[in-house]
Structure 1
Amino acid sequence: MKKTGILNSNISRVVADMGHMDWLGIGDAGTPVPPETEKIDLAVSTNLPSFTQVLKEVLKELAVQKVYVAEEIKKQNPQQLENIKVILPNVEIEFIPHSELKQDLRRAKAFIRTGEETPFSNVILESGVIF
């Protein structure tokens, strides 16, 4: 049995397989996931687990150089945007239309669905390198 880090075998596998500039999505319970993108469903009930809980755990193991966030989060969920900025203080944030973010999930290795039920609680993480 794995002793530390991400215990979910699917998330652990995807993170271990990430290369430089690969994409991984994390988002709320309502995000439509394209059929060609692996969906790792963690949603148990409302806000369990939360978006920020999952994001923090993934970032313990994944080097991230850039994050893509829906433009709409600025007005419709500014508190979640602030959470993202605090969790990723030195990472570039690129804002794109939510419709584009949903389309871009086709490029992601996987999408992790949380129990989050606040609007626009979605990110695409672009992996960096550790050297």
Structure 2
Amino acid sequence: MLQNGILNPQVLELVARIRHTNTLVIADWAFPYWPQIETVDISLTKGMPMVLDVLELLKPNFKIGRIWQAEEFLDTNPAETIKSFDDSFGGIPDVTIERLPHVTFKTFVPDAIGLIRTGDPTAYGNIIVESV
């Protein structure tokens, strides 16, 4: 029985299918449904879990080379929220961060292997991670 790390079997199965250059979306509670890709909804309630909670659990076993996020994130969130994301991203060696208009961000979604929906209420806090 697993006792550490990601315990959710659907998330584990989704992550296990990701290979070199594949992407995974980690999204907030209100992120739209995308019928083209598998969605694993782990939202429990508003604020649980958060996007960064999922990212932190992925880091030990998922080599991330690039992260995309909507540039509107910077304009709509307080400095402490921006810092928490930047600190989390900074803990990933050699990662490239790209912030782009949210309309462009959403065009990347259908190409992802899957989407993990969280309970995160952070405005534009959605991210797309690419494996290397």
Q: Same fold per TM (> 0.5)?
A: yes
Equivalent residues in 2 for 1:78-89 (5 A)? 78-89=79-90
Q: Does the Cα contact within 8 Å between 1:72 and 1:120 map onto a contact in 2?
A: yes
**What stretches of structure 1 of length at least 5 have no aligned partner?**
none
Give the match for residue 107 of structure 1: 111
Separation (CA, whole Å) in 2 of partners of 1:81 and 1:18: 27
Q: Does the Cα contact within 8 Å between 1:24 and 1:125 map onto a contact in 2?
A: yes
Show structure 1 runs of 4+ deviating over 4 A. none
Q: Does residue 20 of structure 1 match 2:24?
A: no
Give the match for residue 50 of structure 2: 50
Separation (CA, whole Å) in 2 of partners of 1:111 and 1:85: 21
Separation (CA, whole Å) in 1 of partners of 2:15 and 2:60: 10
Separation (CA, whole Å) in 2 of partners of 1:64 and 1:126: 6
Give the Å deviation of 1:115: 0.4
Give the Å deviation of 1:22: 0.4
Structure 1 vs Structure 2 CA RMSD: 1.4
Give the Å deviation of 1:119: 0.5
**How many residues are treated as equivalent by the alignment?**
128
Give the match for residue 29 of structure 1: 29
SS, match of residue 87 in structure 1: helix
**What stretches of structure 2 of length at least 5 have no aligned partner?**
none
Q: Does residue 60 of structure 1 match 2:64?
A: no
- Matched-pair identity in %: 30
Separation (CA, whole Å) in 2 of partners of 1:9 and 1:49: 16
Give the Å deviation of 1:96: 1.4
Give the Å deviation of 1:103: 2.3
Q: Does the Cα contact within 8 Å between 1:26 and 1:51 map onto a contact in 2?
A: yes
Supply the AA of the counterpart residue of 1:43. Answer: S
Give the Å deviation of 1:79: 3.7
Structure 2 CA distance for partners of 1:99 and 1:79, relative to 1, 3 Å: farther
